[in-house]
Amino acid sequence: MIRILLADDEHLIRGAMAALLSLEDDLEVVAQAATGAEALATARVVRPDVAVIDLQMPDLDGVSVAQALASDLPTCSTMIVTSHGRPGHLKRALAAGVRGFLPKTVSSDVLATVVRTVHNGGRYVDPALAAEAISAGDSPLTPREADVLELALEGAPIDEIARRASLSPGTVRNYLSSAVGKTGASNRHEAARLARARGWI
């Protein structure tokens, strides 16, 4: 019997997924959580075999949870399900030791199959997402450029970005200018949008 921890902030979906997984004879949902922190705390107590975690949750990112889980419970395999599959998320997730990565558009039997796969030490990444991630390519942005661009996401003026990044406004403009060039955008706002769409930030 594979013991599963389920984490998703949407009760409806979590409950529904639990119901579906419980239909399988060899699967058992032993715990559920609605937030990342809750998932982490619960996992430490129940020590599940597999953790099925939603990517976007109110507090902790699914990837962060996976990372913590990987060091805390090495015997527990983590897989991520998500509604909006961005290439960058996939890359980060894989780096965090995630064994499975699925969009929520998959059918329930695929989900069950993948649970078994990762429990057996295998890996599984949705083919469509994998293709997207490959085609998106590596980020050409330097770490600092990515930082600054991320701060630009909300549309703040340069002076505020500079304050938040503890940089001179001129430096911020240089980084942004470089990022605009690399993304092919016509201004930093579009650049920030594109970079996020490509999973670079």
Interface with DNA by CB under 7 A: which residues? 142-145, 157-159, 167-168, 170-171, 173-174, 176-177, 180-181, 186-189
In the complex, the smallest distance separating the C-beta of residue 71 from a copy of itself, rounded to whole angstroms, is 29
Binding flag, residue 108, a copy of itself (CB under 8 A):
yes
In the complex, the smallest distance separating the C-beta of residue 132 from DNA, rounded to whole angstroms, is 24
Contact 56, 80 (CB under 8 A): no
Residue among 107, 121, 127, 135 that touches a copy of itself (CB under 8 A): 107
Give the span between the Cα atoms of 166 and 161, in whole angstroms.
8
3-class secondary structure, 61 = coil
In the complex, the smallest distance separating the C-beta of residue 179 from a copy of itself, rounded to whole angstroms, is 13
Other C-beta atoms lying within 10 Å of the C-beta of residue 97: 15
In the complex, the smallest distance separating the C-beta of residue 32 from a copy of itself, rounded to whole angstroms, is 12
For a copy of itself, the binding residues in 135-154 under the rule CB under 8 A are 154
What does 181 bind: DNA, a copy of itself, none (CB cut-off 5 to 8 Å by kind)? DNA
Output 120 or 187, the one with its CB closest to DNA.
187
For a copy of itself, the binding residues in 43-82 under the rule CB under 8 A are 81
Binding flag, residue 134, a copy of itself (CB under 8 A):
no
Contact 49, 24 (CB under 8 A): no
Tokens of 177: 């200018």
Output 73 or 100, the one with its CB closest to a copy of itself.
100
DSSP letters spanning 135-182: HH----S-HHHHHHHHHHTT---HHHHHHHHT--HHHHHHHHHHHHHH
Residue among 4, 7, 17, 96 that touches a copy of itself (CB under 8 A): 17
- Residues 131-168 as b/e (b if ≥16 CB within 10 A, e otherwise) read ebbeebeebebeeebebbbbbbeeeeebeebbeebebe
Binding flag, residue 172, a copy of itself (CB under 8 A):
no
